[in-house]
Amino acid sequence: MPELTGWAVVVALLAATVGVITASDKSRSRWGWLLLCLFVPPALIVLFFLPALKLYGPGEQPWRRWVFFRVPISAFVLVLLFPFYWMIITTVRPDKELYRPWQAPNYAPFWTAHPTLDHIRDLLTTTLFSTWMLNTMLISLAATAISLFCGLLAGYALSRLKFPFAGSIGTGIFITYLVPQTLLFIPLSDIIRNFKLGDSPWALILTYPTFLIPFCTWLLMGYFKSIPKELEECARIDGAPRWKAMLYIIFPVAIPGILSAGIFAFTLSWNEFIYALVFLASPDQKTVPVGVTSELVRGDVFYWGELMAGALLGSIPVAFVYSFFVEYYVSGITGSVKG
């Protein structure tokens, strides 16, 4: 086996090199891409998976630990987090340093000797950034509240009650869960115009639930199913009508699930871009992602300092919510892909 593995690595690396060269060629050779996809992943598998797997057992040699665990995971963390570092460093870097070409001898990318808050000040005083933050917050909270309300009720009904068409409604909601926003934004923009909702927060507060409700319903259905049905049966025998058993017994027990769904829905609304881009026009109605994109880029001029400051500040609320509820967020992710 070892010889075979060695050959596989060599072939894959060769193919990958050829692939990279041809794929980046201006003629855009499709063969290059094909080679790249077919051979790079197997090469990665052979190079790293196999040794990584052996790490389960005890008695691991230190060099193996370095090569197959510490170095790769550090590389992952570095690559995954570097853009955020770059965001921060750009925000506090004075313009003079910022617009210095990378070939310049005094280009010092990873630190700055003269940190400044000018960009943040400019962002908050000369642009409508604080208005966008407020808009986004309002819209996200409202959309999340509506979606949680609907998702809770629908999730309960679909997981607990027997009624006609329950199966097809469940499937329908699952399908809408998969519908991407980009499928419907054009007809929706027409409808929003017809409903006279254009350019107001309501356009988003009412349309965000279209992708949040299916998600919340799906997540909460899974959560409700994990709650023993005897709990509410017992409540009903104890003298509670169905709706009270739902409200006083099932919903309180489902609080972790509700939190997961709520946090996830909040970050999804904060992230949303295309609806906000299409439905909103006035600068003072925009959300953070759209405002940053359209108002901080004038013509071909990018105000990178303000842009990065905006990206940084715009990320803080989600990062803040996330940092407090990491576990709920993670269970939201895993719940969202459960079949």
Partner 1 sequence: MARVAMRSLNKKYDEVHAVIDVNLDIRDQEFVVLVGPSGCGKTTTLRMVAGLESITSGHISIDDKIVNELPPMDRDIAMVFQNYALYPHMTVYDNMAFGLKMRKFDRAEIGKRVQEAADILGIGQLLRRKPRQLSGGQRQRVALGRAIVRHPQVFLFDEPLSNLDAKLRVQMRVELKKLHERLGTTAIYVTHDQVEAMTLGDRVVVRKDGRVQQVGDPMELYNQPANRFVAGFIGSPAMNFVGVRLAAENGSLWAENPGMRIQVPAPLKERLGPYAGREATLGVRPEDLRIAGAGDPGELTFPAAVEVVERLGSEILLDVAVGETTMVASVEPTAPAKVHETLRLAVNPDRVHFFDNETEAAI
Partner 2 sequence: MTTIEAVAPRQYVRGPRRGPITRLLEDERKLALCLMLPTIVLLGLFIAYPFVKGIELSVTNTSVGVPGKFVGIENFKKIWTDDIFHIAVWNTCLYTFVTTVFKLVLGLWLALLLNRHFKGKAFMRAFILLPFIIPTVLSTFAWKWMFDPTFSVLNWMLFHLGIIHSRINWLGDPGLAMISVIIVNVWRGVPFYAISLLAGLQTISPELHEAAAIDGARAWARFRHVTWPLLLPVTLVIVLFSVIQTFADFQLVYVLTGGGPANATQLFATYAYQLGIGTGLLSQGAAISLAIFPILLLVVIVQLVYIRRAETL
- Which residues inside 188-247 make contact with partner 1, applying CB under 8 A? 228, 230-231, 233-242, 244
Q: How far is CA 215 from CA 88, 250, 260, 317, in A?
A: 32, 19, 11, 21
CB of 147 to partner 1, least distance (A): 23
How many residues belong to the chain? Answer: 339
The answer to the question of residue 252 lying near partner 1 (CB under 8 A) is: yes
CB of 60 to partner 2, least distance (A): 10
How does DSSP classify residue 272? Answer: -
CB of 117 to partner 2, least distance (A): 19
Choose the contact partner of 231 out of partner 2, partner 1, none; CB within 5 to 8 A by kind: partner 1
Size of the site for partner 1 (CB under 8 A): 19
Is 145 or 247 the residue whose CB approaches partner 1 more closely? 247
Out of 12, 249, 263, 276, which residue is the one contacting partner 1 (CB under 8 A)? 249
How many Å apart are CA 299 and CA 286, to the nearest integer?
A: 18
How does DSSP classify residue 27? Answer: T
Q: What share of the chain is helix, strand, coil (3-state, %, to 5)?
A: 75, 0, 20
Is 121 or 242 the residue whose CB approaches partner 1 more closely? 242
Stretch (H or E) spanning 297: strand 297-298
12 and 39 in contact (C-beta within 8 Å)?
yes
Q: How far is CA 274 from CA 66, 125, 190, 277, 302, in A?
A: 44, 27, 14, 5, 21
Is 113 or 178 the residue whose CB approaches partner 2 more closely? 178
Choose the contact partner of 24 out of partner 2, partner 1, none; CB within 5 to 8 A by kind: partner 2
CB of 254 to partner 1, least distance (A): 10
Is 180 or 252 the residue whose CB approaches partner 1 more closely? 252
The answer to the question of residue 152 lying near partner 1 (CB under 8 A) is: no
- Per CB under 8 A, residues contacting partner 1 are 228, 230-231, 233-242, 244, 248-249, 252-253, 255
